[in-house]
Structure formats: C-alpha cells, structure tokens
Amino acid sequence: MAPSFRAASTRKRPWRLATNWKSSLRWAEGRSSMEAKLQSRRATPFDAEVLTELNLELLRDDASGGATTPAKIKARMLDWLSSGEYAAVLFEHEGEVVAYALYREQNASIYLRQFFVAKNRRRLGLGRRALAVLFEEYWPDGKRLSVDVLTSNERALAFWRSVGFLDYCTTLIMAPKQRPTLSPRTSL
C-alpha cells in the first residue's frame, strides 16, 4: 500500500529555533490544539513498500548519488527490518503517512540512519513532533544520538542544529573517477 500525500496548506507557519532540543520539542508539541495528533507505529516488513517509496523521495531530495532501484531499496528495507538490524517508525498525520525514521539502537547509542518528512508536509512542525515522539516512546534516555547529514543539505543541517544536535565530524569522500594522480616518490 503506497502512502498518499495531499498538498500542504500554503498558509505561513511560525518557525522558531530553540536553544536546546527539549524546549524545541516542547514548542512543537504545544503549537496548536487544533492540529491533529501525530500518530506513530513501529514499521514491520509488511511496510517495506511504503518505506521504499518514502526512501526514494528522500534520495531524490538529497541528490546524494545513491542511484539504486526501487527493488534494491525494498530488499534492503526488508533485510534490515526482518533481521532486527534496524527499526523503523512510521508517522501519520490526518490519516496519511507523512514521515518515517529508520534507526539502529546499540548499547550506548542510537544511530538515526534516515529521517524523512514528506516534501508537502515540511515546515509545519511535523519533524519536531516526530522527533519528540521518538524521544518519548521509542528511544531510551541516556543514549548518545547521531545522524548523518549531507553538507549540501542546508535545511536539514539547520533542522538538526535547531533541535540540539552539534557538529561532530566531517566525512570526506572521493569518487573513483576523482582520484588525483599522486606520486609516492614526491619529496617533501
């Protein structure tokens, strides 16, 4: 079953950057009692189709060069969920799947591999609300959290920093075709 997405309202929404994730998440939770509650549930291998569609949208957004096929993504999702290597949570708002999180929990840490909010549902506070749900219902206290963000994705960097994540390291990559010609015999 594929998720359906309705166009988001074009009405301007207030946006505030918090100094720490707890105040930021409290702000997101208390934004408006008129907004529908964000529902969540742990994904199962039966949700691989929905996760595949959302992951494809994430890859298109990132333009990360992660060229792969839907069949490969679905197989990878099925493997991760079936093996227990990763857990996924789906988020629904007003009856539609609007976001997901894919993470791996270890003894002392949680690695958030993928976190995605549908394009037409961004800037509405759903990402913050989804993160609040993860903290409250899925992730135990006392574990270090990490997430990888493409350096070219300025909106995502701003989001993660606004909820309290700090820059920790930069991973540099080099594609095979970009390798320079270096001589090991070059003198210093």
pLDDT per residue as tens digits for the range 124-168: 888 999 999 999 999 999 999 999 888 888 888 999 999 999 999
Q: What is the pLDDT of residue 13?
A: 27
CA separation for the pair 33, 71 (Å, rounded):
41
Q: What is the pLDDT of residue 181?
A: 75
Q: Closest by alpha carbon to 53, among 14, 123, 5, 111?
A: 5
* 88 close to 81: Cβ distance less than 8 angstroms: yes
CA separation for the pair 157, 165 (Å, rounded):
9
Sheet hosting strand 144-147, strand order edge to edge: 39-42, 87-93, 96-105, 109-117, 144-147
Q: What percent of the chain has pLDDT over 70?
A: 76
- What Rg, from alpha-carbon coordinates, does the chain have? 19
Domains of the chain by range and CATH? 21-178 (3.40.630.30)
Helix (H) or strand (E) holding 76: helix 70-83
Q: What percent of the chain has pLDDT over 90?
A: 31
Average pLDDT score over the chain = 78
Partners of 88 in the β-ladder: 102
Q: What is the pLDDT of residue 65?
A: 54
pLDDT, tens only, 44-94: 899 888 898 888 888 877 665 555 788 888 888 898 988 989 999 999 988
pLDDT band at 171 (very low <50, low <70, confident <90, very high): confident
Q: What is the pLDDT of residue 36?
A: 66
pLDDT, tens only, 3-41: 433 333 333 323 222 233 344 444 444 444 335 688 999
